[in-house]
Structure formats: C-alpha cells, structure tokens
Amino acid sequence: MRGWHRGALPVLLAGFLSLEAQAPDGARSALERAYELLRKRDYDAAVVQFRRGLAVAPELSEARKDLAYTLLRVGENEEARDLFRESMERNPEDVTVALEYAFLCYETKQRREARLVFDRIRRTAQGAAQTTAEEAFKNIDLPMREGISRWQKAVEREPDNFSAHRELAELLEDSDRSAEAAVHYESAWRLRPAERNLLLDLGRVWQRQGQKEKSAAALLAASRGAGPRAAESARQLLPARYPYVYEFRAAFELDPANLELRRELAYLLLEMGNRQEAEREFLGIVEQAPSDLLSSAQLGFLRLQRRDLEGARPFLDAVLDAKTEGAGELQDRVRAALKLPKGLQQRAPEAAEPALSRNARVMAEKSLQAGYLQDALKYLTAAHGEDPLDFSVILKLGWTHNLLRQDQQALDWFALARKSPDVQIAEEARQAYRNLEPEYSPLRTTFWITPFYSSRWQNAFGYSQLKSEFRLGRLPFRPYLSMRLVGDSSPLGGPAYPQYLSESAFILGAGLATRQWKGLMAWGEAGTSVSYEPRAGGASRALPDYRGGVSYGKGFGNLPGGPNTGAYYENHEDAVYVARFDNDFLLYCQNRAGYSFGKAHGLGGLRVSLYVNFNITGDTKRQYWANFVEAGPGLRFGLPFLPGSFHFFVDALRGVHLINYSNPRRPNYYDLRAGFWYAFVK
C-alpha cells in the first residue's frame, strides 16, 4: 500500500505562512529555522528544530503534521505514525491525516488499527478520500477473512497445532474479534507456556474485552518473563503504578514457571516488612530452581535473621559451594554473614552485573543527557525489568516520568524509591514524593504560620493560613475553604498604623484556585473577616471580605533546605485585590539571592543559608504605606531535630518609601525582623 499524501513535503513550506502568525515567540524562531532547513533538504536538522518549536507550542497542528512528513523522509515511520495519530485525535475531521495514519499503521504491522480507521473513513467521508479508504479496507479485510477460514479448518483438523492457533488468533484480533482471538491465544499459550510473548497478546485482547483482572495478570507475567520488546509493551499496557501483591499472585498463578515474577514478589514482600511470606516465596523459588543462588542466599539470610542457623546453613552452603561464574561477590556476602574469612575476588564486582541491565542504564544516561526522554524511559524500563531492586534506576524512572509531565506515574516510582537502603536515594525520593503527592490527593490540606518581631514597629506580628482544597477530576481549578489570621500582639492604634500589617482578624473564606502552572496560579475567594478586637465606632466585628489575586514563585540553584551546597535565587510575585481596602490592588515583588549550606557541609545537621533581600511593594491607590523598596542581608537556619519546613530567619533591612504624601513617619527606615516559618501539607 502507498501513503495518501507522501508527495506532500515539497508543498509543506507554504504552510508556514499561516503557521508563523499562530506561533508564539518562543516557538517561532525554531519553526522558521525548521522550514529553512527543509528547503535545504537537511531533514535531520529540521526534525530537531520542529521538536523544539512543538515543545513550546504543542497546539500547532500544522507544525506537527509537517514534522511527521519530515520524519517519513528520514525513515522514522513509527514516530511519524504516532504524530499523525496525535493530529487525528486533536482534529478527527482531518481526513487526510486519518488516511496517512491508517496507511502507516498498515506499513508498521498494526493491521487492526489500519482496518478500523479505513472502515471509519469509508463510512463517513466523501469523494476521493472515501474511494481510497474503501479500496484500502477491501485490500486488508478480504485476505483476513480468507486467512481466518483457512486456519479455522486447520485447528479443526489438529486441535493441538500451536502455529494454527496463534495465526488464527492474530487474524481474529486484527479483524476486531477480540473474544474469539483470546480463546486461541490462550490455547497457543497452554500448548507452549515458555512462549511468554503470547501473554502480552492474551493480556491485550482481555483488556479490550474489559476483563481487567485477567488482563493485568497476563500483562504482569509478560512484563517480567517475556523478551525485552514484549516486556516493554506489556508494561505500557499495565496501570501506571507499581503492581499490588494480589496482582503478583494472580500473575504467578497464571504462569507458575515464571521465577522472575516470583522473585520480584518475594522482594516486594521483603520491602513491605512481611518476612514470613517473603521467606515462603524464596523457598518456592529454590525448590523450583536449586541453581538460583541469589534466592538461596536471600533465604539463608532471612533464616539467619530469625536465628535459625540450622535452617539457613543448607542454603548458604549451596552458595559457598557454587562454582558458577560471577558467584564470588555473593559468596563474600555469605561469608560476612557467617563471620568467615572473605574469599579471593576473582573478577570486578561490576562484571557479575547482567549485561542487559548495565547497557540499558548506560544508554538511559546518554538519552537523558541528550534530552531524549522517551528513549531514556525505554532503557530505564528495560534496566528495571532486569534488576527490579536497582533503586537508582527506580528513582530515575520517577524523574523521567516527571520530566515527561506524567506525574501520576512519577509518583508511583518515587513511592517505591523511598524504600531504598541507600540513604541519599531514599531522601531524594521522599522529597520528590512530598512535592508531587498533594497535587493528586482528592483532599489537600495546607497550613503555614510565620510570626516575627519588627524593630521598626516594636511589635510582634502573626500571619497564618489553614486551607483545605478539593480536587475535582482533571478540572484546572480547585475549590477550597480557608481560615487566615492577620494579627499582632499589641496594636499601636492611631491613624499612622498601616492596615496592611495587621487586620487584627480571623478571615474565613471559600474560593477557587487554579492549579500551579510553571509556578503561576490564580485565586479568588469570598468570606467574612471577624475581628478579635472591637472595631472603631462600635462597628460590627464581622464584615464581608472579598479578595483574590495572582501568585508566581520560582527558585533556581541549591535552594535552602536541600542536600547540596551552593548559590541560589528565589523570586515571588503577588498581585492581591482586597475589597475592604477601598478596592485596592497590592503588588509584591520579593527577591532573595544567596548561598545555602547543605546538610552534607558539616554544620552538625544545621541547615543554613545567607542571602540578600530586595523587595518592592506598591498599590494602585498610591498609599504611602503600600509603596516602598527595601533591601538588606538575611540569615535563615533550621535545626536538625525540627522538620525541614521549619526554619528561623533574621533580616536586617533598609527601606525607602516611594510615596510620602500623608506619611507621618520618616521616608527612610531601618528594620530588624526575626521570626520563624513553618508549613506542612497533608
């Protein structure tokens, strides 16, 4: 079969005239360069520029199609197919893209998908597209029906014919007859259980039928026992989380000869602290495969830990007596456990490492450095399949999913990496998990408090907020309930006391807040301000309160509280509307640049950072108390026995009022502020 518009690339350059007007500034230069390289027939370089442009502006459908056509020129048919699929999903009415996608599906051996798309187009389109789709559908469908009839007869003649069952199952699946295909895939699997690639096929068709538990068992077994390609494909079809214990058991029940699957289950039980069940699984592995030295050693270690030396010795002796290549490191671990002299090391420890795992990690690292995240994900997945307890790989899987904006999958990998015996990996995973987990919780409660003393006002102030947010599916905003405190310890009174410092009130509100996007979020709320002091003139202590705004925050470098030492910079911008302040907009710009000393710097567990403040505040009503600039040095430190989100601060500031009309005080001031900050998310 030939593509629908394979000759379209020479005319793609004209498409940039309309594309240029749509592209945002960040994407325009990359796309201009891409089309220039197309004119020069430098397709590889053009692909790179197209990718850069689309990374900034993924909504540009024309650029995506042009990238797909360019990929066809360099022979990347599968990636081009996937781009056409994405374009088709974004614009189902684009028949040209749908046809191109269908032809590429057929050429890349996705006959079922090609048949379905051609069938849809021939039923809904008109003109030349309908004619093309009709002809293509017949060219696919007729040979399929003939093949199904032929293989059905072969199965009737020889019910134990493995090849006949498999061929028939594949044709039935391609013809979108999943229920019948599942019967013959299962028959083929029962005839040859060692052909674990069939578990991928079986899991896939069961998944289409909605048989989730059976599908998960088959896919999990395939992901741990089949060849690398089938295992990777199976993982992509599994839920985006680490499997549960009962799912491992169901998979092992389906595929009882899959020792790799059972070994991972045993290690999972061990990580969960269920040593008794883990020992039972390791014993089952050793009974099935006495030559599995790693399982023998682990079984022996478990029995040693519960002081069953006699029960442990046969398994540890089996490891010590082994003559197999690569057993030296494991034997030394056994000798150490038994307090025996260490044996002669015959080869470097890394030489015993599985070649597939080692190579996959190397390729993953190179892909990450080059920015090819999808390739890195594939190699890391392969490395994890070879060594499921390599926590450095598990952590990198979390970060790679995070970079691909697949945060739900990243959360699952970070959760697993938290159990690493390596303290640094576990701590990094815990921090990443804490940062991501609240975003996916149906109810997120946050609390922060920051009391401090100001020498300028000779008073102590307290600000805090307790907020509960509710996640509603994938909506871009969240409703919330909030209680704020804006108060001080000894009101100064008089007209000179600026209201922005202390409202002497609890503020109860309900509102909506958008999700964070690159540090940016918007919010708005309505509520009631309840003063804990009598209001002037005997006014009611409870007043309506309406406020909202936009907030932006970003940090760069070795931020305070982290494990590393080095320079950093923080920026926070806020625009806040408060109706009770005469419908005023307050604008805050806070900047902090400094140097943080990480936990590993040798300060007795203290978390210390030195910095310089530069803050600007303004408002739309141009009131003296809300328009000033201040700058000065500061110190922040946290104590080792306090939570990481608890820290003390001391700032020495020199300030200048930008507006002095009605200002009863000097235009310049000094202020020494000292206090603490504490926050948590649950």
Report the CATH number at residue 72: 1.25.40.10
Structure confidence at residue 17 (pLDDT): 45
Please report whether residue 277 resides in a domain.
Answer: no
User: Of 423, 440, 457, which residue constitutes the final position of a domain?
Assistant: 440
Can you name the residues that pair with 599 across neighbouring β-strands?
Answer: none
pLDDT, mean over the chain: 81
Cα–Cα distances in angstroms (integers) from residue 454 to residues 499, 501, 509, 660, 677, in the given order: 15, 11, 28, 21, 15
User: Is the Cβ–Cβ distance between 96 and 105 less than 8 Å?
Assistant: no
More confidently predicted of 369 and 624 = 624
Residues 553 and 555: their CA atoms lie apart, in Å, by 7
Among 107-121, 230-244, 490-504, name the one with the lowest average pLDDT.
490-504
Number of domains in the chain: 3
pLDDT at 506 over 80: yes
Three-state secondary structure call for residue 561 = coil
Please report whether residue 204 resides in a domain.
Answer: no
Give the CA angle between residues 668, 670, 674 to the nearest 5°. 145
pLDDT at 340 over 60: no
Please report whether residue 103 resides in a domain.
Answer: yes
H runs (alpha helix) in 347-445: 355-370, 373-386, 391-403, 407-417, 423-436
Which residues, 6 or more positions from 416, have their beta carbon under 8 angstroms from its beta carbon?
Answer: 242, 391, 394, 429
Residues 167 and 161: their CA atoms lie apart, in Å, by 10
Please report whether residue 52 resides in a domain.
Answer: yes
Structure confidence at residue 656 (pLDDT): 94
| Stretch 509-522: mean pLDDT | 86
Please report whether residue 140 resides in a domain.
Answer: no
Three-state secondary structure call for residue 461 = strand
More confidently predicted of 14 and 173 = 173
pLDDT at 72 over 50: yes
**Phi, psi for 573 (deg, rounded to 5):** -120, 135
Residues 500 and 610 in one domain: yes
pLDDT at 500 over 60: no
Residues 393 and 495 in one domain: no
Residues 348 and 345: their CA atoms lie apart, in Å, by 7
Nearest-10 crossing angle of helices 162-174, 178-191 = 160
pLDDT at 341 over 80: no
Residues 454 and 430 in one domain: no
pLDDT at 528 over 60: yes
pLDDT at 376 over 60: yes
User: Is the Cβ–Cβ distance between 435 and 444 less than 8 Å?
Assistant: no
Please state, for a pLDDT cut of 70, what percent of the chain lies above it: 84
Residues 220 and 231: their CA atoms lie apart, in Å, by 9
What sign does the dihedral 494-500-506-507 (CA atoms) show? positive
Region label for 381, one of left (φ > 0), alpha (ψ between -120 and 50) or beta (otherwise): alpha
Residues 462 and 531 in one domain: yes
Structure confidence at residue 614 (pLDDT): 95
pLDDT at 591 over 90: yes
Structure confidence at residue 369 (pLDDT): 67
Residues 466 and 413 in one domain: no
| Stretch 395-401: mean pLDDT | 85
Rounded-to-10 torsion of CA 469, 473, 477, 482: -10
Residues 371 and 478 in one domain: no
Residues 482 and 520 in one domain: yes
User: Is the Cβ–Cβ distance between 216 and 200 less than 8 Å?
Assistant: no
pLDDT at 223 over 60: yes
Please report whether residue 453 resides in a domain.
Answer: yes
Please report whether residue 260 resides in a domain.
Answer: no
User: Of 374, 405, 440, which residue constitutes the final position of a domain?
Assistant: 440
Residues 626 and 613: their CA atoms lie apart, in Å, by 18
Among 250-254, 425-429, 510-514, name the one with the lowest average pLDDT.
425-429
Please report whether residue 533 resides in a domain.
Answer: yes
DSSP string, 492-509: --STTS-TTT---EEEEE
Residues 430 and 497 in one domain: no
Residues 395 and 480 in one domain: no
Residues 489 and 625 in one domain: yes
| Stretch 264-289: mean pLDDT | 85
Can you name the residues that pair with 608 across neighbouring β-strands?
Answer: 597, 637
Residues 225 and 231: their CA atoms lie apart, in Å, by 7
Tokens 């640049």 appear where?
A: 593
With CA atoms as reference, report the closest residue to 34 among 52, 55, 11.
52
User: Of 377, 409, 440, which residue constitutes the final position of a domain?
Assistant: 440
Cα–Cα distances in angstroms (integers) from residue 524 to residues 476, 509, 512, 656, in the given order: 14, 10, 6, 31
Three-state secondary structure call for residue 305 = helix
Residues 611 and 653 in one domain: yes
Split at pLDDT 50, 70, 90, the class of 300 is confident
Count of C-beta atoms within a 10 Å radius of residue 399: 20
Instruction: Locate 200 and state its tokens.
Output: 């991928």
The CATH number covering residue 455 comes to 2.40.160
pLDDT single digits (tens) 458-493: 889 889 999 988 877 667 788 999 999 888 876 544
Among 202-216, 358-372, 424-438, name the one with the lowest average pLDDT.
358-372
With CA atoms as reference, report the closest residue to 21 among 11, 31, 12.
31
Split at pLDDT 50, 70, 90, the class of 634 is very high
What sign does the dihedral 123-128-129-134 (CA atoms) show? positive
| Stretch 56-79: mean pLDDT | 85
Residues 57 and 21: their CA atoms lie apart, in Å, by 13
Number of residues in the chain: 682
Which residue range forms the structural domain that includes residue 672? 443-681
SS3 letters for 170-235?
HHHHHCCCHHHHHHHHHHHHHHCCCCCHHHHHHHHHHHHCCCHHHHHHHHHHHHHHCCHHHHHHHH
Split at pLDDT 50, 70, 90, the class of 350 is very low
Residues 367 and 460 in one domain: no
Structure confidence at residue 592 (pLDDT): 94
